[in-house]
Amino acid sequence: MTKPSAARTPSLLDCLVVGGGAAGLVAAMYLGRYRRNALVVDAGASRLAKIPRSRNVPGFPQGIAGSELHAKLKEQALQFGARLEQACVDSLQVLDGEGFEACAGERRWRARFVLLATGACDIEPELEGLASALQAGQVRYCPVCDGYETQGRRVAVLGRGEHGLREALFVAGFGNEVTWLALQSQDEVAAPHLERLRERGVRIAASVPRAVRCLPGRGVEVELRDGRVLAFDVLYPALGIIHASGLATRLGARGQEDGQLLVDAHMQTTVSGLYAAGDVAVDLNQVSVAAAHAAIAATAIHNRLP
Ligand SMILES: Cc1cc2nc3c(=O)[nH]c(=O)nc-3n(C[C@H](O)[C@H](O)[C@H](O)COP(=O)(O)OP(=O)(O)OC[C@H]3O[C@@H](n4cnc5c(N)ncnc54)[C@H](O)[C@@H]3O)c2cc1C
């Protein structure tokens, strides 16, 4: 617990939203429409920016680029009075009396409630030209999002143990040709799981990749230590994800090992008054899930405000 500092004490917001990606902006739009005094503080690294074109966001049958969706969500939040500031919040404290204080360097904000919408980060492979390969759809992180578009194509899944195997099995459900780049971890998984993989026609490349090259317009080439060179149209790294929950866990909020926060049915974390929405609080990382979380959390916060 921290006493509010006397010098230049900022006025008390109804809600501080940390993170201005899909979840944070939808929450800000709801809070604005509830006529609440909400501020979004955003570090500017939404995963939306990495989506070349999403085809599973409801309401966009022709698909929509992540950057365009981000701009539309921002416009909608601002339209209803939400305010936005660019900064990376580096600390969050519970105040003695009521609410929270957040800081980003010298900047401070106080709020009755905080909604954490800080998202998650994919663990990226070491790969030359990763950014352009992502934009070209040659490297992808989310088969839930775009597995459908791999039908009839050669697909590699790069990941260790049970996690890599589960991802390979999932990807193999889209009528494509899948190879699991197992990083020599295939012996770590139970025999029945390997059998399922074989039944689905998934090949296993046991040898460790020596180099992975993205070939502009021509997919991905994987050179293995045993000398073979494999060619794919699409590579899914399945190296894990880190939920950006440090601000909450440092306050004592409970989460899983990978940082995914525990929340109740109203999206409140185990710290009273601290809510979470979007990728930081779920393993089904989807825009529609983030939006639903945001609507639930914003409404719960509104109902608790005087
Ligand atoms: C390549 C790729 C393709 C995808 N394709 C799809 C798709 O087709 N369909 C789909 O539904 N989903 C897709 N997703 C997932 C989707 O992007 C996420 O589920 C969604 O963006 C989650 O929203 P969010 O608000 O939780 O996190 P984000 O949108 O990532 O926003 C989090 C924000 O919080 C900010 N932040 C973090 N820490 C701080 C801090 N301390 N202070 C201030 N700000 C902070 C970040 O800078 C960021 O702006 C894809 C993701 C990737 C990477």
Of the listed ranges 5-14, 125-134, 167-176, 264-273, the least confidently predicted one is: 5-14
**Contact status, residue 213 vs residue 130, Cβ threshold 8 Å:** no
CA-nearest of 157, 160, 177 to 168 is 157
- Ligand 1 near 220 CB (within 6 A): no
pLDDT in the model for residue 212: 85
Q: Which fold has domain 12-121+241-304?
A: FAD/NAD(P)-binding domain (3.50.50)
Q: How far is the CA of 292 from the centre of ligand 1 (A)?
A: 14
Q: Which atom of ligand 1 is nearest to the CA of 294?
A: 25
Domain residue extents for the chain: 12-121+241-304, 124-237
d(CA 299, CA 281): 17
270 CB within 6 A, ligand 1: no
Q: Whose CA is nearest to atom 35 of ligand 1?
A: 19
Whole-angstrom Cα Rg for the chain: 22
Question: What single letter denotes the amino acid at residue 89?
Answer: V
Measured in angstroms, how far is the CA atom of residue 227 from the centroid of ligand 1?
Answer: 38
The pLDDT score that the predictor gives to residue 7 is 52
Give the class (CATH, top level) of 124-237. alpha beta
Q: Which of 6-10, 50-54, 172-176, 234-238 has the lowest mean pLDDT?
A: 6-10
Q: Which of 7-11, 52-56, 220-224 comes out lowest in average pLDDT?
A: 7-11
Residue 24 identity (one-letter amino acid): G
Question: CB of 51 within 8 A of CB of 290?
Answer: no
87-136 pLDDT, tens digit per residue, is 999 999 999 878 999 999 999 999 999 999 999 999 988 777 788 888 88
pLDDT value of position 190: 86
Ligand 1: which residue has its CA nearest to atom 13?
A: 286
Closest alpha carbon to 276 in 258, 110, 286, 265: 265
Tell which wins on pLDDT, 218 or 74.
74
Q: Which of 123, 142, 146 to mutate to test the pocket of ligand 1 (most atoms within 8 A of CB)?
A: 142
Ligand 1 near 44 CB (within 6 A): yes
According to the model, what pLDDT value does residue 29 have? Answer: 98
Domains 12-121+241-304 and 124-237 share a fold: yes
Looking at the chain, the whole-number percentage of residues with pLDDT higher than 90 is 79
